[in-house]
Structure 1
Amino acid sequence: MEQPTILTCAVTGNLTRPDQTPHLPITPAQISEACLEAADAGAAAVHIHVRNPETGAPSMDVELYGRVVESLRRHRPELIINLTTGPGGRFVPSVDEPRMAAAGTTLLPPEQRVAHIAALRPDICSLDLNTMNSGEQVVMNTPANVRRMAAVIRQHGVVPELECFDTGDLMLAQALLAEGTLQGPGLYTFVLGVRYALPFSPAALALARSLIAPQASWSAFAVGRHAFPAVAQAYLLGGNVRIGLEDTIYLDKGVLAQSNAELVHKARRIVEDLGGRLATCQQARASWGLRPSNTDL
């Protein structure tokens, strides 16, 4: 029997702005509710960023993460919690002196980027392996800094989700696995359609899949107008899927999604129309080798 497909909902993200959609969850209560609604719609896992409740700007406040995690563990202990560690790696060079950071730079010491992971011990956390152009800015995740973050993640028993934006990221992942910094076979997410990274195409997705161990688990998603086509393509190639307001704010062309749950419902319909079925939280935990639930923490 075909393995069920794990759907992750990325409920708010780091780059989606409140002025782009009035439906973006901002406060810990809104983010928690969005996660629970996504779970009701079929998501087995939720990928979480937090926001400053006053401004809506991205935040790495451990207390805000704690409020979201506590709520989810209380109301839906079986739901897989995946916290981001991505913020803190962006560099914007000064125009006149490129060695100096300009406004928009978020660079943090690696240990600060995983402080909430050490404190809260989610099931999973993202670990970005990309150093790349991002628009007119640069995202920097050097191998040395990735190793420092991975050490904290491993120390606290959390499974890293290896977010890979290009083929070089996949080569770095192989090196980190070979040296023992990461434990194999690995849990990967391929990020497609970001400017100056892997494009969204069947060929690009097939290439990414060919560069990891056959027994490794993988998901894929694409941003913007490719978000739903990527759900179909990832499923057809045997991967897991992701959707959410981090990835797209539109349910259809020109139609804003009213909620993350609405996006999950559509992604679920795509998987089921293609002959698949979504995994329950318990099935996803078993597939990814996670503890049965987070109630014992």
Structure 2
Amino acid sequence: MNVRQLRAFVAVAQALSFAQACERLHLSQPALSLTIKSLEQDLGGALLARTTRSVSLTPEGETLLPLARRLLADWDNAEELLRQRFTLQRGNVAIAAMPSFAGNLLPDALRVFRDRHPQVNVTVHDVINEQVLEMVQHRRVELGVGFEPHAHSVLQFTPLLLDRFVAVVARGSALAERAEITWQQLLDEDFIALQRPSAVRLLLEQSILEQHGRLTVAFESHQLSTIGRMVASGLGVSAVPSICQGQMHELGACCVALKSPGIERQIGLLSLPEHKLSAAAQALKEVLIHYPWAVPGSIA
């Protein structure tokens, strides 16, 4: 039993006329008769009682008619739903992004996506970099944005921008007056860091270990916004990705170029190479790849 057979049966059953059903379905009468006959053969008995003057439903035909109508309605609804999703008239897509990106750069790109596809719902999970990798790998989201993973990662990485770390200091401090500062000058102050297992924290520790030894931390927090407020209040200094500069300025802190060593890392799009993206996820991926990324409040 297939959709074509059901449509033919319902058309005849509703009109009780092969001629009228042929007009509705744009079929010849022999073709319609053959379709009905094949349906009856598949099901094992007559569904229509036909004479030279009339057409009527058999008891089995009476049983099938409401079922066939519901099946066709469900089929049409499913067909329309998928058509709308493929044409992005509706749909859903989930993306995971580390907070520094989700809170500073992603909203502008999502505005572009929303303008193009206003009926597609987007869910953003702002989680630490390690959770971004995990959510993509376990297919809890289709796309992620984070730091470039290690060489043996199963994830596909598409670079979006190269981010350089900057120092975060209180606006009234002597360090805020400098054009750039060294790590040694920064580490002479109380240091405020993201808590482990933050990728930012681990990257900073690894990058300065050779020249400056282990990172000594006075304060820790899970949130960049808390770190910005702590620095602005004069509790210490920090270092964050440059994409957070706008956020740090809004929180009352000041960002200064940082050297010796300069620390930078690629930020990009993460996905599973063997996983076929939905139409909505593919459209979002195209926006993110081609968006002209620029770090807000960049230090010259």
Q: TM tier, shorter chain?
A: under 0.3
Q: Which has the higher helix share?
A: 2
Q: Structure 1 length normalisation: TM-score?
A: 0.24
Q: Structure 2 length normalisation: TM-score?
A: 0.24
